[in-house]
Structure 1
Amino acid sequence: MSSSAMTASARDSWSSRTEFLLACLGSGMGIRSLYAFPYICYSHGGASFLVPYLIMVSLCAQPLLYMEIAVGQLTRAGPVQAIGMLCPLLKGVGMAMVMTCFFTSSYHIAMLTWTLHYFFASFKSSLPWSVCDERWSDSPCVVMSTTVNFTGEQTTSSEFQGYGESEKKSTKYFTEYVLQKSSNESDLGGLNAALVGYLFLAWILCYLCLFKGVRSIGKTALQTWLVATREAFYCVGIASGIMITFPSYADKRNRISVSTLIITVTNVCTNLLAGCVISAATGALASIVNVPIAHVVNHGYNAVFVMMPSLFSKLPMSNLWAVLFFLSLICLQINYQLSLVQVVVTTISDQFRGKITAVLKRRELMPLVVCAVTFLFGLIHVSRGGTSTLNFVDYYLVYLPSYIIIYLEVLAICFIFGGNRLAREISFLSGHRSYFHYTKMWAFVVPLPVTCYMWYGLVEGLRWANWATPWPYHFGILLSILCLISIPIGVLHELYKNGQGRSFCSAFMVSVTPTFVPEHVKRKQWVDSREWIGREPTGDQHNDELPLVETNPPRSTVDGYRRNSRNSTSKDVDQSAL
């Protein structure tokens, strides 16, 4: 992503399709693949969980990924403008995606600070978490008779003493030295100076990758199926806005089906590989210390920052394995972090391009402002009590908003705008017919699991409220509200704007009518204009040789297309879709 590779157009674009695919792949390979997916498989039946997981990837995640890539590639806009073009009434769904990315980036990078700490600590002559040290151990590291395993159960058998000793060293190092965790979950306890420094370093790394533009990134059966659906959506980046933003910089003629297949297969294989790595490490640690594997298996970030360091301290060349592992984590986390920040940068740039150009004279300043603001929001997560918020923030930012966003996104694109209409435009641009099964899945397969997924998420939110400690729970709820409040505000704003001199029904019909003008309408407008007199294509020219219009069409074209859209029947649209 060097400046010499940038195009002269007002909006950046990928220099190659490979660059676009690598950026999309990086957005789905976060640290969560290491610390969450293996435990979810273990707790929902082990290898049998892969059956519903792979089915939901094929039937739901892949068609929705195809849909999001198509929307971004066709509209050439971020999630707010893209969804606003297809269904103005639900334009707030796009803003909810952007807000989710903004707040997620502020807490996700906190875990990157832990990784940076461990990475630099791995260069010491002996791994610091393998020994007792008075700096992080106020009590003896060795547990003589009673040990506490990773599942929180106590055991007094002498065969577990070796494992309890190793685990306690890593746990104490992580909680008392790295995190300097406050003993009171209701007290933030002030900032952790070391982590603030690593947070600043992490944002410098992110900015250096962003400032030249986008191209610098390169328990029941039902519950099991719903969890599999959730993991399938997360695996390919659905409802985050990333898979709308990145394709908006891609060539409109890209084969969307091929991109969808590559991203889906690669990300699923990455999840499976991560699961194999963590499972093998868990089994190895259990074998070394001679304990049942159930006493070693762990979930959450402790699997990465407690269990894996414990294993490295028992291996030969422990420093080498630790350096390589945490270096890999840094690469994974930075890739995902860049994807989140790019969604925010793209949205602001698309919405306020003229105003931003007037205030910020250079393009490099926009990512700097976003990084600086997000750095300030992330300070709460590097405080001594900030780690108590992470589990709640993870749920109320990654999961809860996505339950609602996915449902409304499918409603806006597949039903209000129309899956067949979207397929028709894809076919026109690429010169290839859209895959028939995708449109049928949007209409008949996807709605049921997406609806169940939304209700499952709302019920889960109530379950969390039953045992949550007060202030982290309220903090998580506040972030969810800030993410989702844009949806009702967008609905009210659109109805008010279109309700001047109209009845409610008329205003509603105008609000659900797309402002997106298909490419063939734009091309006809330009070919018929005086600018193209004497230069019309001959009959044997292919559609690809006509100019691709990158600017907004005249208002008359938009209004005319909206009138035709309201007057056309769904039957007409369906017949001309494929």
Structure 2
Amino acid sequence: MLARATWSKNVEFLLAAIGYCVGLGNVWRFPYLCYSSGGGAFLVPFFLMLILCALPLLYMELSVGQYTQNGPVGALAKLCPLFKGAGLATVVISFLFTTYYNVIITWAFYYLFSCFQEVLPWIDCKHEWNSPNCWDGTAMHNYTNTTTNTSYLVPSIKPNGTISPTEDFYQVKETCKNQERRYVLEKSDGIDEPGKVKWELALILLMCWVIVYFCIWKGPKSTGKVVYFTATFPYVVLVILLVRGVTLPGSLNGILFFIKPKWELLLDPKVWVNAAAQNFNSIGIAFGGIITMSSYNKFNNRIIKDVLVIVIVDAVTCLLAGFAIFSILGNLAENQGKSVDDVIQQGPGLVFVIYPEAFTTMPVPQLFAAVFFFMLINLGIDSQFASTEVIVTTINDHFHPQVKKYLKRKEVLVALVCFISFLCGLPNVTQGGYYFFSLIDHYAAAVSLMYLAFFEVIAITWFYGARRLGRNVKEMNGSTPNMFFIVCWYIVSPLFIFGIWLFSMISYRPFQLDNYNYPVWATMLGWFIAALSVLCVPIGMVHSIYQAKGNTLWQKLKNSIVSPLNETNAATQLNLYNGGVEKSEHFDAL
């Protein structure tokens, strides 16, 4: 059996994990959530959920990946075969994630290329391709002072129904004959009007997949070298933006909007759910990436050190991004004579509409804009290639003989996965692609993630056993985890996950994009996308019971619960090449 590749240095794994966990959500989701969910008061549930949910679950996934030396499907199959479908579900989510997440990086590249002009294309409405609704505030009209009977030009009041140049550049759909279409989305009126493929975006999307390919084509050996830059460069930019932001007029107002406590909002259950969901999504629990990356660790790698570093860096990044974002938004609000409340948005609107508008008021706006969008690319690319590696690792782990026979080399498998994901991502770069992008983003992860996470957690901590996992950690590191982690694995984390899942089901509303209501068929398509991962759990159960030993259904069910690692020496069974004490384990369920 071929020895599993490992990270050259622990710091490479650490940077890769940080790059995977710290993504675009830290920049465009956390600041808005903090502001809208109680400001400084939101930090109370945020850090509480970080300690009680994100921290122990990250420890759990890192331990599982490092001990089993397998991706999510193989890891769950070795711990509790009955729930191996939960591991497969994380791979399905990762695949769906890769098809649309790379589109965000594509938009960032489009903006980056647009920065290399004498005048930024979103700075005014003087281009022939601008829509009639574009308003840049430069229009003037005559005003007559009746007292002095004198007339002079004054700025016109912004008409209703108009949009800013940055919004016009980002999503306007109007076309102009014989003119180059330089705006980004050319957004149609709905998902039922897909229109044409934006070939500029399609070519950039292909380029992004080529970049992802060369980041992971040699496994951890190539990825480990890339993350030295991609995981560290965003922090340089965030510090530059923060230093620049706090020196701008109005920055203090923006920061106060960000951190001013609204204690009364802590009584709203949704605030606590938002805090848990932010930690969950930011750390990447149940996406398969953590288990996959840790499976390339040396067997005796010190896990708790990595856990603490990743969690602390992720939390600090959220706060750093929040101060940097709101300091500049405060300046934008002051320049426009508005409240910060009137300019803040979340999601793509923040980084592709609001922030580009803020750069237009700065000296050398092309430089600040280019650096910002290059930062977004680096933030996104780590999460993108880590999620792609989940798919590649799973296929290679379970179909290695076939890969060896038909594809010859792993590099060909990586190329095939990247190409298929590229083709599946093309609907996102049509004129109606933004609607499809938002639909799959909502249903592929937001709807089903907590459901899958719940089954993953109970499979590991209840059926395999939290105490047994603790003994596995001792086998690797020489000491068992603190009782705090055992209690969180057994009780606290599963209850939090179940509570979030239940609350999301109770408060479910049909998905809307701004003021756009999706047609019934699109909502059904969304639920079909969600079902692709959800159904993996029961299908995996049926398959495990069918394959289990036993003459009766009850015997097969009992045997499908028992971990195969108790049948032989665990270290031999796992084919561990990097040290570790050999030890037999017995079934330890809750």
* TM-score calculated relative to the size of structure 1: 0.84
How far is 1:269 from its partner?
1.0
How far is 1:547 from its partner?
6.7
Please tell me whether residue 246 in structure 1 is matched to residue 293 in structure 2. yes
Task: State the alpha-carbon separation in 1 of the partners of residues 109 and 578 from structure 2.
Answer: 50
Equivalent residue number for residue 36 of structure 1: 29
Task: State the alpha-carbon separation in 2 of the partners of residues 443 and 140 from structure 1.
Answer: 57
Residues 518, 421 of structure 1: CA spacing in aligned structure 2 closer, same or farther, 3 A cutoff? farther
Task: State the alpha-carbon separation in 1 of the partners of residues 335 and 48 from structure 2.
Answer: 36
| Matched ranges for 1:329-348 at <5 A | 329-348=376-395
Equivalent residue number for residue 4 of structure 1: none
- Amino acid across the alignment from 1:29: V
Task: State the alpha-carbon separation in 2 of the partners of residues 490 and 438 from structure 1.
Answer: 28
CA contact (8 A) 1:97 1:241 kept: yes
Residues 139, 433 of structure 1: CA spacing in aligned structure 2 closer, same or farther, 3 A cutoff? same
- Amino acid across the alignment from 2:185: L
Task: State the alpha-carbon separation in 2 of the partners of residues 498 and 76 from structure 1.
Answer: 23
Task: State the alpha-carbon separation in 1 of the partners of residues 435 and 396 from structure 2.
Answer: 34
Query: How many positions carry a matched residue from both structures?
Result: 522
Task: State the alpha-carbon separation in 2 of the partners of residues 492 and 168 from structure 1.
Answer: 55
| Matched ranges for 1:218-367 at <5 A | 218=227, 221-367=268-414
CA contact (8 A) 1:281 1:311 kept: yes
Of 343-352 and 234-243, more deviation after overlay is shown by 234-243
Unpaired runs of 5+ residues, structure 1, are: 1-7, 147-157, 527-542, 550-556
Task: State the alpha-carbon separation in 2 of the partners of residues 393 and 281 from structure 1.
Answer: 31
Q: Percent identity, aligned pairs only?
A: 31
Task: State the alpha-carbon separation in 1 of the partners of residues 206 and 543 from structure 2.
Answer: 38
Equivalent residue number for residue 49 of structure 2: 56
Residues 132, 343 of structure 1: CA spacing in aligned structure 2 closer, same or farther, 3 A cutoff? same
Equivalent residue number for residue 492 of structure 1: 542
1:123 pairs, out of 113, 116, 120, with 116
Of 285-294 and 387-396, more deviation after overlay is shown by 387-396
1:28-61 deviations in Å (ceiling 9; x for gaps): 1221222221111121111211110110000111
- Amino acid across the alignment from 2:16: A
Equivalent residue number for residue 560 of structure 2: 511
How far is 1:184 from its partner?
3.5
How far is 1:438 from its partner?
0.5
1:168 pairs, out of 161, 164, 168, with 164
Residues 89, 163 of structure 1: CA spacing in aligned structure 2 closer, same or farther, 3 A cutoff? farther
CA contact (8 A) 2:27 2:322 kept: yes
How far is 1:166 from its partner?
10
1:84 pairs, out of 63, 74, 77, with 77
1:211 pairs, out of 204, 207, 217, with 217
CA contact (8 A) 1:190 1:383 kept: yes
Equivalent residue number for residue 424 of structure 1: 471
CA contact (8 A) 1:182 1:384 kept: yes
Please tell me whether residue 16 in structure 1 is matched to residue 9 in structure 2. yes
SS in 2 for 1:91: helix
Higher share in helix? 1
Task: State the alpha-carbon separation in 1 of the partners of residues 543 and 301 from structure 2.
Answer: 35
1:351-383 deviations in Å (ceiling 9; x for gaps): 101111111112211110000000000001011
Residues 83, 43 of structure 1: CA spacing in aligned structure 2 closer, same or farther, 3 A cutoff? same
- Amino acid across the alignment from 1:342: E
CA contact (8 A) 1:145 1:161 kept: no
1:150-203 deviations in Å (ceiling 9; x for gaps): xxxxxxxx9995799996111111112210111243211121111111111111
Task: State the alpha-carbon separation in 1 of the partners of residues 215 and 581 from structure 2.
Answer: 30
- Amino acid across the alignment from 1:250: N
RMSD: 2.9
Task: State the alpha-carbon separation in 2 of the partners of residues 460 and 467 from structure 1.
Answer: 18
SS in 2 for 1:20: helix
Residues 525, 248 of structure 1: CA spacing in aligned structure 2 closer, same or farther, 3 A cutoff? closer
- Amino acid across the alignment from 2:216: L
CA contact (8 A) 1:423 1:434 kept: yes
How far is 1:508 from its partner?
1.3
CA contact (8 A) 2:476 2:581 kept: no
SS in 2 for 1:446: helix
SS in 1 for 2:410: coil
CA contact (8 A) 1:170 1:306 kept: yes
* TM-score calculated relative to the size of structure 2: 0.83
Residues 370, 505 of structure 1: CA spacing in aligned structure 2 closer, same or farther, 3 A cutoff? same
1:410-469 deviations in Å (ceiling 9; x for gaps): 110000000000101111221123222111221232222111011123234445389543
Task: State the alpha-carbon separation in 1 of the partners of residues 572 and 137 from structure 2.
Answer: 79
Equivalent residue number for residue 97 of structure 2: 104
Task: State the alpha-carbon separation in 2 of the partners of residues 518 and 14 from structure 1.
Answer: 30
Of 234-243 and 393-402, more deviation after overlay is shown by 393-402
Unpaired runs of 5+ residues, structure 2, are: 140-153, 173-182, 228-264
